[in-house]
């Protein structure tokens, strides 16, 4: 019997056709199993990708700018879970899936939380994907899982204190064309709001010629900014605004409230209509010492009040938004620029701004370039020696990142709007 079996084995192993048949029979089962395994895992990967896409969409969508999550977070008095957002995210997740995938879900976990000004959403899932081939080896399904996360930086609650320079130098023509028209008609690049003699009051005459002055652009743009507030706010009372000038006339210098602090932008819009160039009796009245930044900043500091984080309506950030050419013209004993008797003309002193910044107040600065007038003896003798320091001083006044310059060849209004929108800080979303 043993000899017979040995002979049979030798016959089989010496028959090449027999070898191929045996090897095929031995390998066909694992090959089919491997192919089936690849198909089943490929299907599982595809379905997990679909589930991940839905989770990503839910995590991001729950924190969209107009979502209930953001709206609820902006009104929450403290940090914590945002339940309305959790419900929204779950609905968004399921809405992205066909019924077949919904049926394969084992669990869905959603969490949206606020931590100060940051919102975080987490969406995770587990699912069982049925197999087509692996059932023959007892594997009826493949488990998959995944998680998506999104973060959203909410806009702060901010009070804006608009400090608008309305001193005589803001009677400069707004553009080079306006300056040329003023010089051609009045022999001066500035319109004067003089009340002593009618012939000295070129302000109204300039407007009758459709000349636009810097003060006009500043006033009109401030009115437009009230519309931006209504456009960008996510909840009521998120942004408030107050408007101040440097005074109504030369005999009443000092911080002048044009619009009180309010979230009602219609009220601000109406009040700003009254902003105009400061009046003076005549040229050189009070030696033209009408621009005292140090005094004005000292006056606005207590008005601004306590500075907060911006996380809630009772914990607000504060911004002083200065629009000016940066030229100090005041009575000072010590002067870094040009001095005649007690009259000092010099660049704004950044130390005055530092007092505000040290208190935590952001200082935003729109520098309306002080235009060189090389044909004007006063400019040559009194301003030119320190003209190059005007811009750096204004930039040093500003909180880093919140300075912008606007020359007559540029749009002062656009510069104001650009900086204002930057301060409102459009939402940032990361995944």
pLDDT digits (tens, 9 = 90+) for 83-138: 877 888 898 899 989 998 999 999 999 989 988 878 899 999 999 988 876 766 67
What is the crossing angle of helices 214-232 and 265-272, to 10°? 170
Of 76-85, 207-216, 307-316, 377-386, which gets the smallest average pLDDT?
A: 76-85
- The structure tokens listed for 196 are 């002593």
* Nearest to 356, CA basis, from 392, 320, 330, 407: 320
- Domains of the chain, first to last: 23-153 (no CATH), 158-426 (3.40.50.410)
Residue 31 has pLDDT above 60, yes or no: no
pLDDT digits (tens, 9 = 90+) for 151-164: 887 778 899 999 99
pLDDT digits (tens, 9 = 90+) for 294-346: 999 999 999 999 999 888 888 899 999 999 999 999 998 899 999 988 899 99
Residue 199 has pLDDT above 70, yes or no: no
CA distance 191 to 48: 71
pLDDT digits (tens, 9 = 90+) for 54-63: 999 988 888 8
Collect all residues with Cβ–Cβ distance below 8 Å to 87 and sequence separation of at least 6.
none
Report helix, strand or coil for 86: helix
* Nearest to 257, CA basis, from 267, 327, 266, 214: 267
Please give the mean pLDDT across all residues of the chain.
85
pLDDT digits (tens, 9 = 90+) for 270-288: 999 999 998 887 777 777 8
Given this model, what pLDDT does residue 35 score? Answer: 60
Q: What is the DSSP string of 124-188?
A: EEEEEEEPSSGGGGT--EEEEEEEEEEEEEPPPPEEEEEEE--SGGGGBBSSHHHHHHHHHHHSS
């Amino acid at each position: 019997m043993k000899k017979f079996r040995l002979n049979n084995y030798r016959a089989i192993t010496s028959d090449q056709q027999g070898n191929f048949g045996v090897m095929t029979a031995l390998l066909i089962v694992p090959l089919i199993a491997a192919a089936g395994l690849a198909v089943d895992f490929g299907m599982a990967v595809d379905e997990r990708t679909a589930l991940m896409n839905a989770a990503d969409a839910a995590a991001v969508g729950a924190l969209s700018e107009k979502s209930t999550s953001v709206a609820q977070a902006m009104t929450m008095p403290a940090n914590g879970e945002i339940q309305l957002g959790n419900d929204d995210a779950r609905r968004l997740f399921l809405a992205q899936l066909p019924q077949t995938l919904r049926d394969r879900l084992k669990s869905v976990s959603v969490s949206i939380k606020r931590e100060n000004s940051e919102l975080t959403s987490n969406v995770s899932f587990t699912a069982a994907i049925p197999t087509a081939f692996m059932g023959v080896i007892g594997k009826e399904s493949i488990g998959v899982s995944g998680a998506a996360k999104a973060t959203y930086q909410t806009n702060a609650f901010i009070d804006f204190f608009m400090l608008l320079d309305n001193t005589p130098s803001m009677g400069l023509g707004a553009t080079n064309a306006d300056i040329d028209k003023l010089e051609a008609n009045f022999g001066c690049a500035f319109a004067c709001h003089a009340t002593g003699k009618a012939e000295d009051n070129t302000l109204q005459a300039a407007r009758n010629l459709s000349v636009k002055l810097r003060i006009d652009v500043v006033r009109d743009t401030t009115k437009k900014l009230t519309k931006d507030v209504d456009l960008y706010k996510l909840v009521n009372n998120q942004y408030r605004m107050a408007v101040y000038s440097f005074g109504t006339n030369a005999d009443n210098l000092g911080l002048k409230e044009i619009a009180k602090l309010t979230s009602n932008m219609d009220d601000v819009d109406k009040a700003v209509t009254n902003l105009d160039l400061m009046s003076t009796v005549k040229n050189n009245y009070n030696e033209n010492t009408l621009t005292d930044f140090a005094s004005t900043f000292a006056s606005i500091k207590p008005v601004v009040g306590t500075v907060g984080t911006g996380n809630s309506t009772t914990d607000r950030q504060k911004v002083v938004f200065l629009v000016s050419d940066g030229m100090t013209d005041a009575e000072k004993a010590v002067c870094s620029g040009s001095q005649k008797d007690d009259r000092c003309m010099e660049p704004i002193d950044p130390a005055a701004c530092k007092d505000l910044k040290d208190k935590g107040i952001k200082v935003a600065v729109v520098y309306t370039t002080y235009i060189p007038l090389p044909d004007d003896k006063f400019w040559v003798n009194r301003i030119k020696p320190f003209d190059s320091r005007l811009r750096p001083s204004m930039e040093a006044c500003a909180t880093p990142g919140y300075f912008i310059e606007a020359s007559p060849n540029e749009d002062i209004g656009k510069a104001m709007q650009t900086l204002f929108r930057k301060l409102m800080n459009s939402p940032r979303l990361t995944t």
